[in-house]
Amino acid sequence: MPARLQLLPLALLVACGGGTSTETPSTEGAPSPAPAAEGGGTITIDGSSTVFPITEAVAEEYQQGRKTRVTIGVSGTGGGMKKLCAGEVLIAGASRPIKPSEVELCGANGIQLIELPVAYDGIAVVVNPQNDWASSMTVAELKALWAPEAQANVTKWSQVRPGWPDQEIHLFGAGVDSGTYDYFTAAVVGTEHSSRGDFTSSEDDNVLVQGISTDKLALGFFGLAYYEENKDKLKVLGVDDGNPANGDGPILPSAATVSDGTYQPLSRPIFLYVDAKAATRPEVQEFIHFYLEQGRPLVAEVGYIPLSDVAYGMVKQRFDAGKTGSLFEGHGSTIGATVEALLGKP
Amino acid sequence: MNEATAPRARTARAELTASRAGSKRLEKAFLALCLVSVFAPLALLLYLVGETTLDGLGRLSWDFLTGYPSRKAEKAGILPALVGSVYLITLAAGMALPVGVGAAIYLEEYGGRSRLARLIEVNIANLAGVPSVIYGLLGLGVFVRFLGLDRSLLAGAATLALLVLPIVIISSREAMRTVQDNVREAAYGLGATRWQVIRSVILPQALPGILTGAILAVSRAMGETAPLIVVGALTYMTFLPDGPMSPFTALPIQIFNWVSRPKAGFDINAAAGITVLLLTLLAMNATAIWIRQRAQRRA
Amino acid sequence: MPDPIKPVRIETRGLRAWFGAKEALHGIDMVFHDREVTAIIGPSGCGKSTFIRCLNRMHELVRGARAEGQVILDDVDVYGKDVDPVLLRRKVGMVFQKPNPFPTMSIRENVLSGLRLTGRLDRSRAEEIVERSLRGAALWDEVKDQLDKGGASLSGGQQQRLCIARSLAVEPEVLLMDEPASALDPIATARIEDLIHELKEQYTIAIVTHSMQQAARVSDRTAFFLMGDLVEVDDTDNIFTSPKDQRTEDYITGKFG
């Protein structure tokens, strides 16, 4: 036995040593030049979990019959931006516009970004199907309900709108680390990342669906795609932003009302950010063109709302022109704007 | 029995047959409590595993095991994640075991009570309680950026190795401590050097305990998601890792991704993925247990 | 009667030993004669075990323990700077109080362990060494058909003889025995004592024992230790019949201990 036991640590050392010696590490900061099997290159993408399903669908179709490899990581919008600005990936998906700090970081590393809106994401405000009193809410009511001051004060349906039952209201919301939460608070409360804290939150929207569908007194918000998939278990509320310019009265969320800009303020564009240097590589150009030209049905298939054909055309032009910088000038979301309106800005 | 001894016998009878009903009831209640604490968690676990397996059974097929990720739940497969996890765990164990056992040997057999040894000891105990994301950040800083390993399997495995190192060290030390001093003395008395004593007497006897630690370590590493995501594990890739410097993804990442998808059908994939994860874990642990059993049979 | 002209094999000069700050031996001067059995007796805690553990430098393996003074073995001070304690222990073997065969090894592996551990095993001679050592320890006939069984599966007395065989296999010249029979039943004890008689033909033996009867039965010379001091050392017959020191007499007559 001693002979055999003596070999054990040795074998482990060999296994471990073998791992380190096979390939020399690539230089730091180089945009992941992992060579593909037979040419074609690798397109490295990271970022938001909201954008992920769209990019995954596009990559899946794009790779049919092509040698180019597409890899996608999900480290969140912030994580993806950091990697993009460190030159570790070529493209980042983002569920919000770039922040000033990120613009600075990229600039410090000499990286310019091209901003490409690729789809809309709506946020649905939903209640239990047995809720027979509420069918819509105004933004003012939502604000009164979700603002930090509402904590422990607004606890009954009757406090939201006179005439609604004098019963407890049970709140559910997207996790506070999600882009959905950030956008909802910005649009409804008026301050990003600020809301009451006494609600059931989960990073997994399916948990929220489950919670609301079993609680008659529940009200919650999450990505529109999750409502679309669970229509039979939930009841969606119309939202009235009080601005007749984009539709009078409460508007129910749908592909049409989101993309024509009438479901306001709870719809927003989501983005790809592309490293401008990488945008000159043929495989990246081909991939982005594919994304913008053939992505439309895929966006809808995975539960999001595509831009209009006109808007996709404008985005493609922007990419081809290599136009860097942000439409939002690093100032966060412009609440409730359509992509056409944004791109059409002089 | 004469008349003189009769009263004493009566007393003895009374003493020996007195009712202990009270303490007996207590004993029974305690036993019941113990049984409940054993079976309640076990039943819950069985229920969870059973339910998950049943949910995922429909998706568990050769195509699922050998398929690549897809936006269509029924087409999506788990191969890159499965291969990635197996590579990760093998590499991580290959690094953590020699280093961890080595550290344990130093602390247990050489370090004595020196200030350095005690400092290391306290730190290891603390490291065991550090949240795994912190290890991810450390891995990102040291392996990915400083050592230039990029977002590679090797960087991920090194991070996991670091994460489980305290487990390996602590359990190896425990195992070595169970080797009795008189066995050590016997070896020294035969003119063995310290290294010879460690290698031929202490390690063989400690092997079962060390392997138990390895099982715990592998199980822990297998389920970790957060540090891998920080280090840069992918969620979507349509090729297999082809070496330690290759990009990678892992089972828990794929499962997490499926769980949180809005589209129906992905929840079934997640359940099937969990079953694959459990089976992989089971297979790896069975190997370690088999080695342990062989080692113990010699003892 | 012991042969008075047997040469001195080991001599200690001013040997002192400590556990941490506690001094366990206060300067021992004593000799061991070649191929004789020297018994060391005394009450618990008198330093008798510490003393023989100083002879092959096992004492210093205990955390915080140290020794001072000289132990002369064949004209060499074993505490000299250039002496390797590892090599010393190959020459001065030791048998412990509690039988301690290696639990992961078979009987055969246990016998050969000293040679194998230290990388000195000549494989072609292995079988011969196993038989010679086990015969030397009077265990061969009992285990010759089960050499591959685990060493820990033997009875306590057999285990102790296996440990003696293990010590013999490395061909020491001196054997130190630290209460080798104290954990054994009377029959096993008798076998060990018989064995000691045979072994002294070839080895210089020091045996620590708490049993005066055992000392009287097996040894040529006997030393009486008390509280870290050597009180008296003499031919065993003299110690037990006409001790010179009152304390020795009190101890062997059972007045304390």
Q: Within 13 A of C169's CA, how many CA atoms are on the CB side? A: 34
Answer whether C152 touches A (CB < 8 Å): no
Token output for A16: 């471990």
Enumerate the residues of chain B whose CB falls inside 8 A of the CB of residue C116. 200
- Give the alpha-carbon dihedral of A156, A161, A166, A170, to 10 degrees: -30
**For the domain that residue A328 is a member of, what is the CATH number?**
3.40.190.10
Enumerate the residues of chain B whose CB falls inside 8 A of the CB of residue C61. 185, 188
To 5 degrees, how large is the angle CA C243–CA C245–CA C250?
Answer: 80
Answer whether B205 touches C (CB < 8 Å): yes
Nearest chain C Cα distance for residue B218, angstroms: 26
Interface test with C, best of B177, B190, B201, B293 (most C CBs within 10 A): B190
List average pLDDT for each run of 10 residues in chain B, which is 299 residues long: 71 78 85 93 92 88 91 91 94 94 89 80 87 92 89 94 93 91 90 90 90 89 90 90 91 90 86 92 86 71
Enumerate the residues of chain B whose CB falls inside 8 A of the CB of residue A67. none
Q: Do A73 and B151 touch (CB under 8 A)?
A: yes
To 5 degrees, how large is the angle CA B178–CA C118–CA B209?
Answer: 20
**Residue A293 near residue A312 (C-beta atoms within 8 A):** yes
Q: Do C114 and B200 touch (CB under 8 A)?
A: no
Answer whether C16 touches A (CB < 8 Å): no
Q: Do B186 and C96 touch (CB under 8 A)?
A: yes
Nearest chain C Cα distance for residue B115, angstroms: 15
CA B259 to chain centre: 24
Which ipTM score applies to this complex? 0.88
Structural domain that includes position A148: 122-267
Enumerate the residues of chain A whose CB falls inside 8 A of the CB of residue B98. 9, 12-13, 16
Judge if A245 and A295 occupy the same domain.
Answer: no
B289 vs B209: CA distance, rounded Å: 11
Question: Minimal CA–CA distance to C55: which of C102, C19, C89?
Answer: C89
Asked, for residue A295, whether it belongs to a domain, the answer is: yes
Name the closest residue on chain B to residue C166, using Cα atoms.
B190
Asked, for residue A96, whether it belongs to a domain, the answer is: yes
Nearest chain A Cα distance for residue B32, angstroms: 36
Task: Identify each DSSP E strand in chain C by its residue range.
Answer: 8-19, 22-33, 37-41, 65-73, 76-77, 92-95, 174-178, 204-208, 221-226, 229-235
Asked, for residue A107, whether it belongs to a domain, the answer is: yes
Nearest chain C Cα distance for residue A1, angstroms: 8
Interface test with A, best of B260, B290, B291, B296 (most A CBs within 10 A): B260
Name the closest residue on chain B to residue C58, using Cα atoms.
B189
**For the domain that residue B113 is a member of, what is the CATH number?**
1.10.3720.10
Contacts with A75 (C-beta within 8 Å, 6 or more apart), sequence order: A46, A47, A83, B229, B230, B232
**Residue B202 near residue B184 (C-beta atoms within 8 A):** yes
**Residue A238 near residue A228 (C-beta atoms within 8 A):** no
Q: Do B190 and C113 touch (CB under 8 A)?
A: yes
Instruction: Specify the residue for token string 């090894």.
Output: C105
Residue length of chain C: 257
Return the pLDDT at A337: 67
**Residue B209 near residue B174 (C-beta atoms within 8 A):** yes
User: Residues C126-140: what's their mean pLDDT?
Assistant: 91
- State residue B216 phi and psi, 5-degree precision: -60, -45
Name the closest residue on chain C to residue B180, using Cα atoms.
C100
- Fold of the CATH domain C8-101+172-252: Rossmann fold (3.40.50)
Asked, for residue B35, whether it belongs to a domain, the answer is: no
**Partner residue facing B196 (CB), from C63, C117, C166:** C117
Enumerate the residues of chain B whose CB falls inside 8 A of the CB of residue C166. 186, 190
Enumerate the residues of chain C whose CB falls inside 8 A of the CB of residue A2. 109, 116
Q: Do A83 and B257 touch (CB under 8 A)?
A: no
C172 vs C99: CA distance, rounded Å: 19
Judge if A276 and A168 occupy the same domain.
Answer: no
| pLDDT tens digits for range C75-87 | 899 999 999 999 9
Name the closest residue on chain A to residue B208, using Cα atoms.
A5
Judge if A302 and A291 occupy the same domain.
Answer: yes
Asked, for residue B50, whether it belongs to a domain, the answer is: no
Answer whether B195 touches A (CB < 8 Å): no
Q: Which chains reach chain B with 3 or more Cβ–Cβ distances below 8 angstroms?
A: A, C
Return the pLDDT at B134: 92
Q: Do C116 and A1 touch (CB under 8 A)?
A: no
Nearest chain A Cα distance for residue B164, angstroms: 16
Q: Which of residues 199-218 of A touch B (CB under 8 A)?
A: 203-206
**Residue A241 near residue A137 (C-beta atoms within 8 A):** no
Banded pLDDT at C112 (limits 50, 70, 90)? very high
Enumerate the residues of chain A whose CB falls inside 8 A of the CB of residue B207. 5
Question: Which H or E run contains B12?
Answer: helix B6-17
Last-in-domain residue among A267, A289, A319: A267
Return the pLDDT at C54: 95
Q: Between β-strands C221-226 and C204-208, what pairing exists: parallel, antiparallel or unpaired?
A: unpaired
Which amino acid, residue C233? V
Return the pLDDT at A335: 61
Tally B–C CB contacts below 8 A.
Answer: 81
Judge if A84 and A173 occupy the same domain.
Answer: no
Name the closest residue on chain C to residue B197, using Cα atoms.
C117
Answer whether C147 touches A (CB < 8 Å): no
Answer whether B257 touches A (CB < 8 Å): yes
B158 vs B177: CA distance, rounded Å: 28
Asked, for residue A105, whether it belongs to a domain, the answer is: yes
Q: How does B15-49 read in b/e, with b if 16+ C-beta sit within 10 Å?
A: eeeeeeeeeeeeeeeeeeeeeeeeeeeeeeeeeee
Interface test with B, best of C59, C90, C117 (most B CBs within 10 A): C117
Judge if A131 and A209 occupy the same domain.
Answer: yes
**Residue A128 near residue A235 (C-beta atoms within 8 A):** yes
Question: Minimal CA–CA distance to B164: which of B250, B227, B80, B232?
Answer: B227
Asked, for residue B55, whether it belongs to a domain, the answer is: no
Tally A–B CB contacts below 8 A.
Answer: 137
Last-in-domain residue among A217, A244, A267: A267
Q: Which chains reach chain C with 3 or more Cβ–Cβ distances below 8 angstroms?
A: A, B
Q: For chain A, what is the domain count?
A: 2
Return the pLDDT at B3: 61
Asked, for residue B23, whether it belongs to a domain, the answer is: no
Judge if A237 and A308 occupy the same domain.
Answer: no
Enumerate the residues of chain C whose CB falls inside 8 A of the CB of residue A1. 104-105, 109
Return the pLDDT at A302: 87
Structural domain that includes position B239: 62-67+75-298
Judge if A215 and A334 occupy the same domain.
Answer: no
Last-in-domain residue among A252, A267, A282: A267
Q: Which of residues 143-182 of B touch C (CB under 8 A)?
A: 180, 182
Q: For chain B, what is the domain count?
A: 1
Query: Does residue C219 carry a pLDDT above 80?
Result: yes
Judge if A43 and A143 occupy the same domain.
Answer: no
Nearest chain B Cα distance for residue A240, angstroms: 26
Return the pLDDT at A183: 86
Return the pLDDT at B255: 92
**Partner residue facing C117 (CB), from B180, B200, B295:** B200
Which amino acid, residue B10? R
Q: Do B229 and A69 touch (CB under 8 A)?
A: no
What are the residue ranges spanned by the domains of chain C? 8-101+172-252
Cis preceding linkage at C180, omega within 30: no
**Partner residue facing B201 (CB), from C58, C94, C102:** C102
**Residue B201 near residue B184 (C-beta atoms within 8 A):** yes
Enumerate the residues of chain C whose CB falls inside 8 A of the CB of residue B107. none
DSSP code string of C146-199: -TTSBGGGS-HHHHHHHHHHHHHHT--SEEEEESTTTTS-HHHHHHHHHHHHHH
Answer whether C109 touches A (CB < 8 Å): yes
Task: Report the Cα–Cα distance between both ends of chain A, in Å, rounded.
Answer: 81
Residue A155 has a CB neighbour count (10 Å cut-off) of 15
Name the closest residue on chain B to residue C115, using Cα atoms.
B190
Asked, for residue B165, whether it belongs to a domain, the answer is: yes
Q: Do B94 and A15 touch (CB under 8 A)?
A: yes
Nearest chain C Cα distance for residue B230, angstroms: 44
Nearest chain B Cα distance for residue C59, angstroms: 10
Residues in chain A where the model's pLDDT stays below 70: 1-40, 329-337, 345-346
